[in-house]
Chains A and B, each alone.
Chain A
Amino acid sequence: MEQCRVNHLRRLILKGGGAGGVLACALAAGLLRPTRAFAADWNKAAFESKSLADALKNIGAAGAAESADILVKAPDVAENGAVIPIEVTCRMEGAESIALLAEKNPFPLMAYADLVGGTEGYLNTRFKMGQTSVVKVVVKAGGKQYIASREIKVTIGGCGG
């Protein structure tokens, strides 16, 4: 119960603080950088896909080839499913994008990174998983799709109540 109360309070604080933040940022953005815009839109279809196959199809990686050149560094057993570190390094040349997917998550696609203007085939982040699952990493390089898999066991889920 203590946990809920704290969370509720945090929610109120965030709610209260959020509005001011938006206003301030909007002002700052408007005054300082009127032309700044987000280049890539959010791929709604892919992020709302409920199966791994659909998610892969919606990011255009349905026929991705297994590759040993994608190095995935992640724990074999994650004690806390709410924070699982993952580090992806691509050994192939010219990686254009990296996508992270967890097969058993309610929405498998977790992140999709477009690497532009000299960004290397490398991505490091932390993600959530409710249960033990296979994590897939899809890399686009030279117009081709490559995929690597890694099973991560979760002892405490990170998505439930």
Chain B
Amino acid sequence: MSEPMKIRARIVDGSAHIIVLMIHPMETGQRKDPRSGQAFPAHFIQRVTATINDKPVLNLQCGPAISKNPVFGFRVKGAKSGDKLMIAWEDNKGEKAHSEATIA
């Protein structure tokens, strides 16, 4: 089971400040195993989507250059305390995860 994401979402000056941390190796495909000389196969998150009350707010595509255990911070105007935030990701191997949080 993949580890759950850590989400922090709170209202600051009328907009929701959201920070999410995902647990993922984000292997670039460039790094070589020094014993075999073979590159570790690329394994990275490609798409991240966020919705608030089922309405999309962020569609993010990323490459392998995003750091291991990616962090994304974004801000949504008009969101209210108590709104339901859902964040999902999918990686290049088709693995998926999603997490929900309530905006504080």
**Which residues of A are at the interface with B, using a C-beta cutoff of 8 A?**
4, 8, 10-11, 14, 17-18, 20-22, 24-26, 28-29, 36, 38-43, 47, 82-84, 87, 102, 105-107, 109-120, 122-130, 158-161
**Which residues of B are at the interface with A, using a C-beta cutoff of 8 A?**
1-2, 15, 19, 25-26, 28, 30-35, 40, 46-47, 49, 52, 55-68, 70-79, 88, 90, 93-98
List residues of chain A with CB within 8 A of the CB of B55.
Answer: 117
Contacting B60 at CB < 8 Å: which of A106, A107, A114? A114
- Whether A47 contacts B61 by the Cβ 8 Å rule is yes
Q: In the assembly, what is the distance between CA of A125 and CA of B30, in Å?
A: 21
Interface centre among A25, A29, A43 (most CB of B within 10 A): A25
- Whether B71 contacts A118 by the Cβ 8 Å rule is no
Pairs A–B under 8 Å by Cβ, sample size 16: A14-B25, A21-B1, A22-B96, A28-B98, A47-B61, A106-B30, A107-B63, A107-B64, A112-B60, A117-B57, A118-B78, A120-B76, A124-B74, A128-B26, A128-B66, A161-B32
- Chain A residue with Cβ nearest B50: A119
The 10 A-B residue pairs with the shortest CB-CB distance in the complex, in nearest-first order? A124-B73, A21-B2, A110-B65, A40-B59, A126-B67, A114-B59, A161-B32, A120-B75, A111-B62, A113-B60
List residues of chain B with CB within 8 A of the CB of A24.
Answer: 1
Interface residues of chain B: helix, strand, loop or mixed (majority): strand
Contacting B76 at CB < 8 Å: which of A17, A41, A118? A118
- Chain A residue with Cβ nearest B78: A118
List residues of chain B with CB within 8 A of the CB of A130.
Answer: 30
Could you tell me the distance in whole angstroms from the C-beta of B84 to the nearest C-beta in chain A?
12
- Whether B97 contacts A113 by the Cβ 8 Å rule is no
List residues of chain A with CB within 8 A of the CB of B58.
Answer: 113-116, 119
Could you tell me the distance in whole angstroms from the C-beta of B47 to the nearest C-beta in chain A?
5
- Whether B31 contacts A125 by the Cβ 8 Å rule is no
Q: In the assembly, what is the distance between CA of A115 and CA of B34, in Å?
A: 41
Q: In the assembly, what is the distance between CA of A107 and CA of B1, in Å?
A: 30
Q: In the assembly, what is the distance between CA of A125 and CA of B66, in Å?
A: 8
- Whether B61 contacts A18 by the Cβ 8 Å rule is no
Could you tell me the distance in whole angstroms from the C-beta of A8 to the nearest C-beta in chain B?
8
- Whether B65 contacts A128 by the Cβ 8 Å rule is yes
